[in-house]
Amino acid sequence: MTLKRLTLSCASIAIFAFSVSARNIVFPPIAGVNGLIGSDTQAALSSDNAPLHIGLKFQGLTTFANLPYVFCLSEEQNIESYDIAFLGAPFDTGVTGRPGARFGPRGIRQGSHRMSPEAGYNIYAGSNAFLDWAKIVDCGDVPLTVLDNTYALKQLDRAHKVVSGRTANSTEKSSVPRIITLGGDHTTTLSALRSTFDNWDKVSVIHFDSHLDTWRPDVLGGGISDYAGVNHGTFLHIAHEEGLIHNNSVHAGVRAPLFSRRDLKNDVRCGFDIITAREIDRIGVHGIIERLKSRVEGSKVYITVDIDVLDPAYAPATGTAEVGGWSTRELLSILDGLEGLDIIGADVVEVSPAYDNAGETTVLAAAEVAHSLMTLMVQKPVKAST
Ligand SMILES: [Mn+2]
């Protein structure tokens, strides 16, 4: 045997010996795991008894915050009851800018995939809103046609009525379920307000948005047709015309350009006050909270969050981005500061995941906004007035 051959065979014996011993590595017992102090937790584990209850954030189908799915749109009356329902509205054919918000509901759910009731303790609220009195579920998305806006909005109107038309789970705290809609373009809020009117009568709207969304249909829609006039920039004008909202509503974070001063006059006529984006530099987060609370005092409140209220640095994935907006932290602090209001419905809209980045900046922000809205609803139970 040559020296070279001898060296090679020695090397292969060494590799063989190493791989055999690698299979036999036994880790020392870990003290304190699942209360098994002092026992051999490693030896007991096999594929027959490997625990399947660990890793709840990555199992099952994607619901908002890994909440249970309930088929709330069922024609059956006897389904599992709930107090707060997440409901997707995949509709984006009422936009004037970039489309794509029909994928918003699944984007927001993806952004929420690390949230779960089991690990839902909120350090700011000092509680776990998932495990409080309210039974919270995800109802999935409403089936909406993508080819006819009028038809789709009628579908969404009906879905809101069905989902909020059931008896709540915790009847000592609530009477009918409250809905948090995951949009969808902003037109979808019109269906939600039609539904809240049935259960809670007129409401005041706190509208987080860079735009007014009270444009007259003949201004934003061009007077072409009634069909064109119902869109994501006119729905608050229509809600006012339909008598769904009080005249003490308010926009927050406004900064987008207008057609003319007449837009502002029409905005006042529709019942809105304006807090611009830059006012936060003058009065701060607490000043914004105080103005919002005093504006809607004494009313039932609907909160709608157009994700474009955030600066595009924090929410690039939206249809009509406007620079100079609030940060995610500022918006979350303002939302959390609204604790105590009678919030009867809410939504996060205009999330258009195709324009998001690899870090999922927008859907993460939208999911946390939805979590804040849910927390506000848990903190203040509201019974329907009818
Ligand atoms: Mn909007």
> E-assigned strands of 28-160?
84-89, 121-122, 127-128, 136-141
Gap from CA of 378 to ligand 1 centroid (Å)? 25
- Give residue 36's pLDDT: 47
Binding-site residue set for Mn(2+): 186, 209, 211, 213, 306, 308
307 confidence band (pLDDT: 50, 70, 90): very high
- Give residue 239's pLDDT: 98
- Give residue 264's pLDDT: 98
Share of the chain above pLDDT 70, in %: 88
Gap from CA of 24 to ligand 1 centroid (Å)? 62
Gap from CA of 313 to ligand 1 centroid (Å)? 18
Over range 22-49, report the average pLDDT. 64
3 confidence band (pLDDT: 50, 70, 90): low
Gap from CA of 233 to ligand 1 centroid (Å)? 6
Gap from CA of 263 to ligand 1 centroid (Å)? 15
Q: What is the pLDDT of residues 86-139, one digit of tens each?
A: 999 999 999 999 999 999 999 999 999 999 999 899 999 999 999 999 999 999
Over range 260-282, report the average pLDDT. 98
- Give residue 26's pLDDT: 73
Gap from CA of 280 to ligand 1 centroid (Å)? 20
53 confidence band (pLDDT: 50, 70, 90): confident
Over range 177-181, report the average pLDDT. 98
Gap from CA of 15 to ligand 1 centroid (Å)? 65
Q: Which residue has the higher pLDDT, 289 or 38?
A: 289
* 65 conformational bin, left if phi > 0, alpha if psi -120 to 50, beta if neither: left
Using alpha carbons, select from 303, 379, 309 the residue that is nearest to residue 133. Answer: 379
Over range 207-226, report the average pLDDT. 94
Which residues on neighbouring strands pair with residue 250, listed in sequence order? 206, 273
Gap from CA of 17 to ligand 1 centroid (Å)? 67
Low-confidence winner among 16-20, 120-124, 231-235 (lowest mean pLDDT): 16-20
262 confidence band (pLDDT: 50, 70, 90): very high
- Residue 157: which H helix or E strand, with range? helix 149-164
Binding-site residue set: 186, 209, 211, 213, 306, 308
Gap from CA of 235 to ligand 1 centroid (Å)? 9
Q: Decide if pLDDT at 141 tops 50.
A: yes
Gap from CA of 58 to ligand 1 centroid (Å)? 32
Gap from CA of 5 to ligand 1 centroid (Å)? 76
Q: DSSP for 257-324?
A: --S-THHHHHHHHTTEEEEETTHHHHHHHHHHHHHHHHHSTTSEEEEEEEGGGB-TTT---SSS--SS
Gap from CA of 211 to ligand 1 centroid (Å)? 6
Gap from CA of 34 to ligand 1 centroid (Å)? 49
- Give residue 95's pLDDT: 96
Over range 67-82, report the average pLDDT. 94
Query: Is 97 buried (19+), middle (13-18) or exposed (0-12) by CB count in 10 A?
Result: middle
Low-confidence winner among 35-44, 169-178, 309-318 (lowest mean pLDDT): 35-44
Over range 54-76, report the average pLDDT. 87
Q: Decide if pLDDT at 23 tops 50.
A: yes
Q: Which CATH class is domain 59-379?
A: alpha beta
Gap from CA of 30 to ligand 1 centroid (Å)? 53
Gap from CA of 187 to ligand 1 centroid (Å)? 8
- Give residue 38's pLDDT: 46
Gap from CA of 333 to ligand 1 centroid (Å)? 20
Query: Is 111 buried (19+), middle (13-18) or exposed (0-12) by CB count in 10 A?
Result: buried
37 confidence band (pLDDT: 50, 70, 90): very low
Q: What is the pLDDT of residues 78-88, one digit of tens each?
A: 999 999 999 99
CB 116 within 8 A of CB 46: no
Q: What is the pLDDT of residues 149-176, one digit of tens each?
A: 999 999 999 999 999 999 999 999 999 9
Gap from CA of 348 to ligand 1 centroid (Å)? 10
Neighbours of ion ligand 1 (CB under 5 A): 186, 209, 213, 306
